[in-house]
Chain A
């Protein structure tokens, strides 16, 4: 019977092409607008590293004196001091860890033909690559010795390798960061998480870095951050060394803790570390506090999805509701005009339920057609978003979940619009319709 209903629906839609076109257009526009905002929202809110997001933790320490406040919900600064980052990096234990900051350099090959360009660089520990699932095409991360000795080495990604050398297998080649010559020890596959969750300081959706350098370079070569540096008290900082020894916070720190036991042990270690630092005159506080937040908690904590985005999604659904209301009006007129046919069907043995289903299948087919066109409109909308705002380029696309959701949403919206007209047409007494024939 379902196939028969689809056949009837198709005939009915073809019978009134203009009304059908208007209804499909209305639902397609509604779906287009809704799916555009919903897709961006979906990409913003999706887990960027689902298989291990609950094992990666951002570390925060409450370094401020009692009475000081921060703009976070729990008053703990987002970042760590350089001192704390170095000390936490040196703590014992078999777990992955990565201090990090965003810096940048003028990159060139020191040849006449090489045109220098400015490149953001992630300055971090060697565990970073394992923790955040970067894949090496050639070579590997720098060694522990190279890290300790601040060896002049870097890792770049395949895109940058092609840009510099026209090929990806460039391990052993040299690249210049300003005046410094660095050896390339590894080339990674292109890595562009939609959300830059590991460093949310300068925008959550910025592009991931294409070049990586050991964290020991910070001290060895005075590599300053290109991200945020925040201070909570006055400190005189005349040079970079002063900054490294200050209570300013400018370094991110992540650990990978695979078990609850590791999590507990690491928390205990952080408390012990803070108590030890208290004895050295830091952490002037009554109660010591730390925070370990996994990837999804960290994104919520940092308001990755702003209220504006949520409001925008809400408004797009309201627009869809307006489209649904328009379709409802058109369906009402169309179905009531067909009431005599329904009367005949009822007289010939169709139950109210069968007539109701027949009409719901028709609006379902309408929704499917509108949903298909709506996906096209949404693609245009997303193209517009990505062309207008570079910032959203990585987010303005539909994954398969959104592609599947669009027709489902369209069908649901149309069925919602069709419920009342279908109910109205099926409940009228058959004799009333037959009399008008």
Chain B
């Protein structure tokens, strides 16, 4: 599903050059649930942004589902992102002017899905996260946990094969965190590939496969056999 070879990312300012990722190699197979851990500033979010094509990389090769991302223009990347990737952000990133229904509908609109189908999918996803009754609420009228569930519903509405989650429970209390994690596990069991960045070792251990990033490189990976519905033994460098 995801194949990164010798990926590097350099942030350049007038004064200093920062290597966020260097010689970064990782392969994630279809259906895997991978937790990415590492200290602050190690390059986890940069990796996630590059994986989600939210920012360009400086060198190396990145293939997503067999497509060489480096050869795509911006529109093609936006299309691919819309078709295959779902995002769950730590800060929820819901659009404040739109109600829950409209927030979940956003990726479907960009995909050009017809109104009736959009309605069906949005209602289905809100039902899944237990917020069907709040479709007309604005994000600021919900708790943090509820907002994160809306973000998950939005990520799922497009039926992505690849879900990227950046600290999905970072702003939630432990009860809410557990609920969100259970939801992600359920989604993974249904076939979606998930890459989740987290600081929480306990949460990471719930994922069948862990990788650690230090100084922009993958330094370790651990496989917890038997955790996932699909557990291929893919390894990163």
- Given the known A-B contacts A349-B158, A431-B54, are A354 and B110 also in contact in the complex, defined by CB atoms under 8 Å? yes
Q: How far is the CA of A344 from the CA of B74 in the complex (A)?
A: 16
Asked if A350 is at the interface (CB within 8 A of a chain B CB), the reply is yes
Residues from chain B with a CB closer than 8 A to the CB of A352 are 74-75, 78
Residues from chain A with a CB closer than 8 A to the CB of B78 are 346, 349-352, 354
Asked if B60 is at the interface (CB within 8 A of a chain A CB), the reply is no
Q: Which residue of B lies closest to A430 (CB)?
A: B54
- Min Cβ gap B51→A in Å is 11
Contact B110 A434, beta carbon cutoff 8 Å: no
Per-position contact with A for B75-91: 1 when CB-CB < 8 Å, else 0?
A: 10011011100010101
Residues from chain A with a CB closer than 8 A to the CB of B45 are 435
Q: How far is the CA of A351 from the CA of B109 in the complex (A)?
A: 12
Asked if B106 is at the interface (CB within 8 A of a chain A CB), the reply is yes
Q: How far is the CA of A429 from the CA of B9 in the complex (A)?
A: 14
- Min Cβ gap B33→A in Å is 21
Measured CB to CB, the residues of A under 8 A from B are 1, 4, 11-12, 15, 340-341, 343-354, 429-432, 434-435, 437
Q: How far is the CA of A198 from the CA of B116 in the complex (A)?
A: 66
Per-position contact with A for B40-71: 1 when CB-CB < 8 Å, else 0?
A: 00000100010010111000000000000000
Asked if B95 is at the interface (CB within 8 A of a chain A CB), the reply is yes
- Given the known A-B contacts A12-B97, A437-B91, are A345 and B55 also in contact in the complex, defined by CB atoms under 8 Å? no
Contact B82 A429, beta carbon cutoff 8 Å: no
Contact B93 A437, beta carbon cutoff 8 Å: yes
Q: How far is the CA of A343 from the CA of B96 in the complex (A)?
A: 13
- Min Cβ gap B184→A in Å is 18
Contact A349 B81, beta carbon cutoff 8 Å: yes
- Given the known A-B contacts A11-B97, A429-B54, A431-B49, are A351 and B91 also in contact in the complex, defined by CB atoms under 8 Å? no
- Given the known A-B contacts A346-B78, A350-B78, are A437 and B110 also in contact in the complex, defined by CB atoms under 8 Å? no
| 8 closest Cβ pairs, A-B complex | A349-B82, A351-B78, A431-B54, A437-B91, A431-B55, A431-B49, A349-B110, A348-B107
Residues from chain A with a CB closer than 8 A to the CB of B112 are 1
Residues from chain B with a CB closer than 8 A to the CB of A340 are 93
- Given the known A-B contacts A1-B109, A12-B97, A15-B97, are A351 and B89 also in contact in the complex, defined by CB atoms under 8 Å? no
Q: How far is the CA of A343 from the CA of B83 in the complex (A)?
A: 17
Contact B55 A429, beta carbon cutoff 8 Å: yes
Q: How far is the CA of A435 from the CA of B56 in the complex (A)?
A: 15
- Min Cβ gap B227→A in Å is 28
- Min Cβ gap A435→B in Å is 8
Residues from chain A with a CB closer than 8 A to the CB of B93 are 340, 343-344, 347, 434, 437
Q: How far is the CA of A1 from the CA of B111 in the complex (A)?
A: 11
Contact B158 A434, beta carbon cutoff 8 Å: no
Interface centre among A12, A351, A352, A353 (most CB of B within 10 A): A351
Q: Which residue of A lies closest to B83 (CB)?
A: A349
- Min Cβ gap A177→B in Å is 75
- Min Cβ gap A396→B in Å is 44
Asked if B154 is at the interface (CB within 8 A of a chain A CB), the reply is yes
- Given the known A-B contacts A347-B81, A347-B87, A430-B55, are A353 and B97 also in contact in the complex, defined by CB atoms under 8 Å? no
- Min Cβ gap B93→A in Å is 5
- Given the known A-B contacts A431-B55, A434-B54, A437-B89, are A349 and B97 also in contact in the complex, defined by CB atoms under 8 Å? no
Number of interface residues of B (CB under 8 A): 30
Q: List 25 A-B contacts (CB under 8 A).
A: A1-B109, A1-B112, A12-B97, A15-B97, A344-B93, A344-B106, A345-B95, A345-B110, A346-B54, A346-B78, A347-B52, A348-B81, A348-B87, A348-B107, A349-B82, A349-B111, A350-B78, A350-B110, A351-B79, A353-B75, A354-B110, A432-B55, A434-B89, A435-B45, A437-B89
Residues from chain A with a CB closer than 8 A to the CB of B81 are 347-349
Q: How far is the CA of A423 from the CA of B93 in the complex (A)?
A: 22
Please name 17 further chain A to chain B contacts, defined as beta carbons within 8 Å, in addition to the given A344-B95, A353-B75, sorted by A numbering: A343-B93, A344-B94, A346-B78, A347-B81, A348-B107, A348-B110, A349-B83, A349-B107, A349-B111, A350-B78, A350-B82, A352-B74, A354-B110, A429-B54, A431-B49, A432-B55, A437-B92
Residues from chain B with a CB closer than 8 A to the CB of A15 are 97
Contact B75 A351, beta carbon cutoff 8 Å: yes
- Min Cβ gap A221→B in Å is 80
Contact A351 B55, beta carbon cutoff 8 Å: no
Q: How far is the CA of A350 from the CA of B158 in the complex (A)?
A: 13
Residues from chain A with a CB closer than 8 A to the CB of B158 are 349
Q: How far is the CA of A424 from the CA of B97 in the complex (A)?
A: 22
Q: How far is the CA of A434 from the CA of B52 in the complex (A)?
A: 12
Q: Which residue of A lies closest to B80 (CB)?
A: A349
Residues from chain B with a CB closer than 8 A to the CB of A435 are 45
Interface centre among A11, A347, A431, A434 (most CB of B within 10 A): A347
- Min Cβ gap B143→A in Å is 17
- Min Cβ gap B161→A in Å is 14
Per-position contact with A for B168-200: 1 when CB-CB < 8 Å, else 0?
A: 000000000000000000000000000000000
Q: How far is the CA of A429 from the CA of B107 in the complex (A)?
A: 18
Q: How far is the CA of A354 from the CA of B83 in the complex (A)?
A: 16
The A-contacting residues of B in range 141-160, CB under 8 angstroms, are: 154, 158
Contact A4 B74, beta carbon cutoff 8 Å: no
Residues from chain B with a CB closer than 8 A to the CB of A341 are 95-97
Residues from chain B with a CB closer than 8 A to the CB of A434 are 49, 54, 89, 91, 93
- Min Cβ gap B118→A in Å is 11
- Given the known A-B contacts A4-B109, A354-B110, A430-B55, are A348 and B82 also in contact in the complex, defined by CB atoms under 8 Å? yes
Q: Which residue of A lies closest to B81 (CB)?
A: A349
Q: How far is the CA of A12 from the CA of B95 in the complex (A)?
A: 12
Q: Which residue of B lies closest to A348 (CB)?
A: B107
- Min Cβ gap B182→A in Å is 24
Out of B56, B74, B79, name the residue touching A349 (CB < 8 Å).
Answer: B79
Residues from chain A with a CB closer than 8 A to the CB of B97 are 11-12, 15, 341
Q: How far is the CA of A257 from the CA of B77 in the complex (A)?
A: 68
Residues from chain B with a CB closer than 8 A to the CB of A346 are 54, 78
Q: How far is the CA of A15 from the CA of B112 in the complex (A)?
A: 27
Residues from chain B with a CB closer than 8 A to the CB of A4 are 109
- Min Cβ gap A260→B in Å is 57
